[in-house]
Amino acid sequence: MTDGKKVSIKIQSLREQIEEHNYYYHVLDKPVITDADYDRLFRELQSLEHEYPQFIVPQSPTQRVGSKPLEGFSQIKHDIPMLSLSNAFSTDDVFAFVKRIKDRLNIENEVEFIAEPKLDGLAVSIIYENGNLIQAATRGDGTTGEDITANVKTIKTVPLKLRGDFAGTRIEVRGEVIMTHQGFAELNRQQDEQETGKRYVNPRNAAAGSLRQLDPAITAVRPLEMYFYSLDQYHGVDSQLETQLDKLKLMKNAGLRVNPHTEVVADAEGCVAVHQQLAELRESLAYDIDGIVYKVNKLDYQQSLGFVARAPRWALAHKFPAQEETTIVNSIEVQVGRTGAITPVARLEPVFVGGVTVSNATLHNKSEIERLDVRVGDTVIIRRAGDVIPEVVEVIKNKRPKSAKPFVFPTSCPVCDSEVVYDSSEIIARCSGGLFCSAQLKEGMKHFVSRKAMDIDGLGSKLIEQLVDTKTIHTVADIYKLDKPTIAGLERMADKSAQNLMDAIEKSKTSTLARFLYALGINHVGETTAQALANHFTELNSLMHADQEELESIEDIGPIVAQSIVNFFNEQHNLDVINELLESGIDWPVTEKIQVSEDNTFNGKTVVLTGTLSMPREQAKATIVNLGGKVTSSVSKNTDFVIVGDNPGSKAAKAEKLGVEIIDETVFREYANLNIRSS
């Protein structure tokens, strides 16, 4: 045996020993050697790799920091959207959630749930191919996140290579990056020692800030940790997964750390009991949690329940009781939003509550101010629950100064002096000035250029306010009429920054129908509704001429949203702005609308894909969905078809055992071509 071969074997042996000890330490929390012995192994590996650099591989434990500082974070589109969760704040909410599940599934027997702590950190998606970590991304807007691969590789509780044989697989796992209380205190101590060191307010902000460093070497020295809670893709994995618990066990066996306080409970009673237990343990935990997440355990139940808007029907976040503090109201102001809605805001004496310093709290509307009888100078109780906007919940009347006077809600807009009008409920107040009101125009502009809309990087709030105040722009269409000299003449702008903004405006002209609809700021039309409209109509003209009945036929669009859309496209000035935008060059790829015959092969059927297909898997999924079918990840007795590609694995075997019809890709393509016609 050559010396090089001996060294290679020795290096591989050291890596395997170190990864084994990492697994026992980080995942099982049962170290089997001392820190000193571990350090000795690590130093020996470092020394050999330094002497024989030809044997260094990206998955080596020594390569946690191997990247140069980044110039900026690139964007990654998630294969599967990272959805939000619906929230519960009371026991009644949990019982109602479980009842909805049973009603939708049409069952009376107990439903099992996985209950796990809701960690207060940063959600991250990681992809492993052939067992090796190849990509990591933040949640971002749920559809697109930031590429933080280099930084995530520095976190010791994230394996660079999965345990076991994962050849030929692609796995996507998700979890939460956190910082413990001890790590947070140590980081702030180190920051205090630096003259320019920034002190962090809470562990969550510290974790987020550490993970978004452009230099991975900085992230590497930050005390970040990660817990995994979700297995979202597992192509090629030879394992039969029937429950959420099966997924957690697979992840743990692969070396991915699962929270030890995760357990299986039954029905609403079990959920509420574990919520109470963890609420009592909360203060003794090494990290922050702000509630419990419940997930239906059976995967076929999850598939049947599906999703609503941006959240799964089979999961719920049960928040802990809100945290409250007292402070003083220094003033009450009203803000005008992009739809003209007038919202009163209490400006407060700053107070630390729920992990952040709060200086503003919403008062919601005129009737809420009257109900609370809140006045300037009052001592009030404010509440902050999770990420919910702080609100005033009670006035301590016996501390009210004698000079305090009732707040008088304005009858005219504080920005443009137009009349304030109310909706039919007499609760929501709006400025009647429309685009005449510069506040509405400014907020509408900010929405239009935002990342989830037209994504015009560099056109921030200050620039928009300058452009509106100087009457340089009057509608969003005027953005595309700006020239470089005009932009360069604005405050804080120079030749290079003006050119960068011109480039960003030009780049934004290539968009999607969904982004364009969202950017228009139609009342009640958020990202999800905009995407649903784009999927249904596929082109703008059809949507603009749609009536209320057709709009209400789209899932999750009710009469209020439908009427708002109809009203928007009935306004001539809105049509004029849209025409100007299109004439400026804004465009998007045209998607063919699929018409499906009710008797096609896949309509109403449940389909599983397995093996390697010649077409992209997402294209195959989209084809089945367009044909009225549903794609699930595991085979059960409720599966109608299993479509197999090369090297199909255990899913095909399970389908054969259960008597589920198996078809190959050739037959699938024939069925698809026979049943789809374009219009």
Do residues 284 and 183 both lie within one domain?
A: yes
Q: Which of 507, 534, 556 is the last residue of a domain?
A: 507
Domain stop point among 290, 319, 348 = 319
Q: What is the pLDDT of residues 225-249, one digit of tens each?
A: 999 999 998 888 878 899 999 999 9
Distance of CA 309 to the CA centre of its chain: 13
| Residue 588 in domain | no
644 & 618 share domain: yes
Q: Does 335 share its domain with 465?
A: no
Mean pLDDT of 154-166: 92
Closest CA to 141 of 502, 530, 445: 530
**377: pLDDT confidence band, cut at 50, 70 and 90?**
very high
Mean pLDDT of 454-471: 91
Set 30, 68, 118, 295: catalytic member: 118
Q: What is the mean pLDDT of residues 640-657?
A: 82
Contacts of 123 (CB under 8 A, 6+ apart): 82, 138, 139, 174, 175, 176
User: Is 567 contained in some domain?
Assistant: yes
Catalytic status, residue 118: yes
Residues 221 and 352 in one domain: no
- Does 411 share its domain with 465? no
Residue 533 within any structural domain of the chain: yes
> Residue 675's pLDDT band (boundaries 50, 70, 90)?
very low
Kindly state whether residue 202 falls inside one of the protein's structural domains. Answer: yes
Residue 393: give its domain's CATH number.
2.40.50.140
Q: Output the pLDDT for position 653.
A: 80
Q: Among residues of the chain, what percentage have pLDDT more than 90?
A: 40
Does the structure show a pLDDT above 90 at 614? no
Number of separate domains in the chain = 6
- Please choose, from the candidates 508, 503, 504, the residue with its C-alpha nearest in 3D space to the C-alpha of residue 453: 508
The reply to whether 269 falls in a domain is yes
**125 and 243 together in one domain:** yes
- pLDDT tens column, 18-57: 888 878 876 776 777 877 777 788 888 888 888 888 888 8
Q: What was the pLDDT predicted at 674?
A: 42
Question: What single-letter amino acid sits at 662?
Answer: I
Q: Examine the domain organization and report whether 653 and 577 are in the same domain.
A: no
Asked whether residue 341 falls in the same domain as residue 298, the answer is no
CATH number of the domain that residue 481 is part of:
1.10.150.20
In angstroms, the Cα distances linking 616 to 429, 611, 620, 634, 668 are 50, 12, 7, 19, 14
Greater pLDDT, 594 or 407: 407
- State in Å, rounded, how far the first CA of the chain is from the last one: 68
Q: How far apart are CA 463 and CA 570, in angstroms?
A: 31
Average pLDDT, the chain: 86
Q: What is the pLDDT of residues 306-325, one digit of tens each?
A: 887 678 999 999 988 777 88
For 32-72, the DSSP string reads -S-HHHHHHHHHHHHHHHHH-GGG--TTSGGGSS--PPPSS
The answer as to whether 76 is a domain residue is: no
Same domain, 606 and 549: no
pLDDT band with cut points at 50, 70 and 90 for residue 268: very high
User: At 49, phi and psi to the nearest 5?
Assistant: -70, -35
Distances (CA, A) of 153 to 146, 203, 210: 15, 20, 13
Q: Is residue 72 part of a domain?
A: no
In this structure, are residues 345 and 391 in contact, taking their beta carbons and an 8 Å threshold? no
The structure's pTM equals 0.59
Eight-class DSSP state of 283: G
Across the range 371-397, mean pLDDT stands at 86
Could you tell me if residue 75 is inside a domain? no
557 and 471 assigned to the same domain: no
pLDDT bucket at 676, cuts 50 / 70 / 90: very low
The answer to whether residue 96 scores a pLDDT higher than 90 is yes
Which residues, other chains included, contact 369 with Cβ-Cβ below 8 Å and sequence gap of 6+? 332, 344, 363, 407, 409
pLDDT band at 598 (very low <50, low <70, confident <90, very high): low
- Report strand pairing: 641-644 vs 661-664: parallel
Q: What is the arithmetic mean of pLDDT over 77-89?
A: 86
**What is the residue range of 412's domain?**
323-421
> Of all helices (H) and strands (E), which one includes residue 132?
strand 132-138
Q: How far apart are CA 295 and CA 293, in angstroms?
A: 7
Instruction: Return phi, psi of residue 354, to 5°.
Output: 60, 30
How far apart CA 204 and CA 308 sit, in angstroms, is 28
Residues 554 and 644 in one domain: no
Average pLDDT over residues 415-425: 79
User: For 563-575, what is the mean pLDDT?
Assistant: 84
Task: Name the domain boundary from 489, 507, 525.
Answer: 507
Beta partners for 422? Answer: 429
pLDDT at 678 over 50: no
Residue 169 and residue 242 in one domain: yes
Cα–Cα distance measured from residue 27 to residue 462, given in angstroms and rounded to the nearest whole number? 47
